[in-house]
Amino acid sequence: MRLIEAKFKSLERRGEGALIGYITCGDPTLNHTPVIAEALIEGGIDMLELGIPFSDPIADGPVIQRAAVRALRAGVRPTMVLEIARKISMAHPDLPIIILTYYNVVFRMGLENFFSLAKESNVSGVIVPDMTIEESSEYRAIASKYDIDTIFLAAPSTSNERIKKIIECSSGFLYLVSVFGVTGVRERLREESINLIRRASTVSNGRIPIAVGFGISKPSHIKNIIAQGADGAIVGSKIIKIIEENINNQKEMLLNLKKYIRRLKKAALKTSQP
């Protein structure tokens, strides 16, 4: 059993939804990333999503775009991100680490080389937002060869028939994009998000865990999506915003991150009350 699947099963036994925290690797510097990751882990994240900074992150809103710019200016490269993943995994061998990147990065490194390095770095899964299932057969074959999960996304506009096809091509979990548009902090969950969770849960019928991202930033969001049938929540923009707001005060940054994550994790308990 792969690490992501094992983590979801363990959390399910404990009556918890998964809390997945996203950070852009190298924001604001490469040295910050392990320290920030440690704060998130201490706060209670169940999985860590590390973003490889990219010059044209089409799925990301302004907060994460600024983080990518800071990381690129700091000289961060894909191999450095994988090395950071390796160091974090050595300290936390039971923590699934997921890489988010764009296909151009993987293509330039070469599929075999990328997944070989990812395996050496103990990466559990990879998300490539701009890759379609129709173009993914070679990618998925090589990822599977190195025992790394391929995580695909589905959006509110995705039909039930296509969700079924995406699930057939996915492993680890299905990533539900809760809203139309890009990543970013939002005040409330929309009806389209709730409908998507319900539809995906029905189509999946327990075959693969479902995690919801894009706009998830409050404990109430997490309680709601767990109540609707999701198995986990992915939080990124709000975490990056806390980093950005405290960029010159690391002590305050880490303290605020831990406090924020603890609040979110409490909301992921399936027995918790609103």
Residues forming the active site:
49, 60
> Which of 139, 149, 35 lies closest to 98, judged by CA?
149
55 class by beta-carbon count within 10 Å (0-12 exposed, 13-18 middle, 19+ buried): exposed
**Bridge pairing between strands 153-154 and 149-151:** unpaired
Output the six-digit token pair for 89: 């995994």
Which residues, in sequence order, are CB contacts of 68 under 8 Å at separation 6+? 24, 27, 51, 53, 54, 55, 57, 60
Residue 229 phi, psi (nearest 5): 120, 0
- Whole-number Å distance between alpha carbons of 174 and 193: 14
Nearest CA to 162 out of 144, 150, 174 is that of 174
Cβ atoms 262, 239 nearer than 8 A: no
Q: Which residue has the tokens 């919801």?
A: 212
Q: Report the alpha-carbon distance of residue 58 to residue 102 in Å, rounded.
A: 9
